[in-house]
Amino acid sequence: MMINSFIHRTFLAVLVMLAPVSNAVSEADSSGGINSDISFDYVQATFALTTVDPGDSVTEADGTGFGFSLSLGINKYSAFTLSVISTTFDTFQGIEVESSKLTTYGFTAHTLIAPSTEVYANLSLAIANATVPESSSATGGEDYGGVFGVGLRYLVTDKIELELGGSNTEVFDTSVFSYNLETRIYFRKVYSLGVGYVSSENADSFQFHIRMDI
């Protein structure tokens, strides 16, 4: 919890400090002095391996997830976003114990702060669905909430991109902060493969992405 809180405060502090830089870089960008090849127009497929540790001596649950996301630019500084990820959790015997699905519809604002470096903020409506077996004491169902996230994307070279992000999700009367690290490798400029790590208070996920810029 303390680590997540520290990361959350760090993201906010970075954005505040970079705001003046962003204005200066934007002016240079409009005059042709600085540019970025980072695209916020893309479609992406995701495969995830997730482990949840509820604590209180409860056995960890391993899950396999599949997802889809879409980002469509509105203008140079904003985009509509849609994402869906569905995960099924199993016991070590391979018996299904729970499944979850999270769908988000949102808006992303982004801006160039240095050559090949962009910061972004996203605000989304979240629809969460959870199913549990009859023998479980957990509560399933559907709930509506929200997601707020911030992050940074940086092109190390024209073929390698690094991304760092953090987000806070509120559904089922629970607030969860998570952060993600990702490396993306581009092929033929618009196609890329990504490997990422997402961590929250009681869950860790390794994700593999296939993306096409559009």
- Residue 40 backbone phi and psi in degrees, to 5: -110, 20
Q: What predicted TM-score, i.e. pTM, was given to this entire model?
A: 0.79
Give exposure, 75-94, as e/b (b: 16+ Cβ within 10 Å). eeeebebebbbbbbbeeeee
pLDDT at 200: 92
Domain that holds residue 49: 2-213
pLDDT at 147: 97
State the total domains in the chain: 1
DSSP state of 7: H
pLDDT at 37: 82
How many whole angstroms separate alpha carbon 201 and alpha carbon 174?
12
Query: What is the band of 27 on the pLDDT scale with cuts at 50, 70, 90?
Result: very low
How many whole angstroms separate alpha carbon 13 and alpha carbon 31?
29
Q: What is the mean pLDDT of residues 209-214?
A: 96
Beta-bridge mates of residue 213: 42
How many whole angstroms separate alpha carbon 214 and alpha carbon 190?
7
- Domain containing residue 33: CATH number: 2.40.160.20
Query: What is the band of 61 on the pLDDT scale with cuts at 50, 70, 90?
Result: confident
Residues 94-152 pLDDT 10s: 556 688 999 999 999 999 999 999 999 999 999 999 887 666 555 568 999 999 999 99
Query: What is the band of 60 on the pLDDT scale with cuts at 50, 70, 90?
Result: confident
Give the other-Cβ count within 10 Å of 120's Cβ: 21
Structure tokens at 157: 């070279």
